[in-house]
């Protein structure tokens, strides 16, 4: 879970990254300087997006764990 700065020839902004699990792709959201009115506002938006992505990742982990529990305990019946 992190917020990183991306500066390349055409891209300037902050990217929020949140990992769900090793077998799952990470969730990302890019907040550009131009769209948010500058670097500081884009950083604030990226922090907000990171919090939103953390909540989404938690829901995904919970759904994934329920599926694993049901699958691994099915043979106990």
More reliable by pLDDT, 36 or 25: 36
Q: What is the pLDDT of residues 36-72, one digit of tens each?
A: 999 999 999 999 999 999 999 988 888 877 554 444 4
Rounded CA-CA distance 29/32 in Å is 10
The residue-averaged pLDDT of 4-23 equals 92
**DSSP collapsed to 3 states, the chain:** CEEEEEECCCCEEEEEEECCCCCCCCEEEEEEHHHHCCHHHHHHHHHHHHHHHHHHHHHHHHHHHHHHHHHHHHHHC
pTM of the model: 0.76
Rounded CA-CA distance 55/41 in Å is 22
């Amino acid at each position: 879970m992190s917020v990183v700065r991306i500066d390349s020839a055409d891209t300037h902004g902050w990217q929020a990254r949140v990992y769900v699990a090793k077998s799952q792709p990470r969730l990302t959201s890019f907040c550009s300087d131009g769209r948010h009115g500058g670097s500081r506002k884009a950083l604030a938006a990226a922090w907000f997006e990171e919090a939103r992505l953390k909540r989404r990742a938690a829901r995904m982990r919970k759904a994934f764990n329920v599926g694993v529990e049901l699958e691994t305990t099915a043979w106990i019946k």
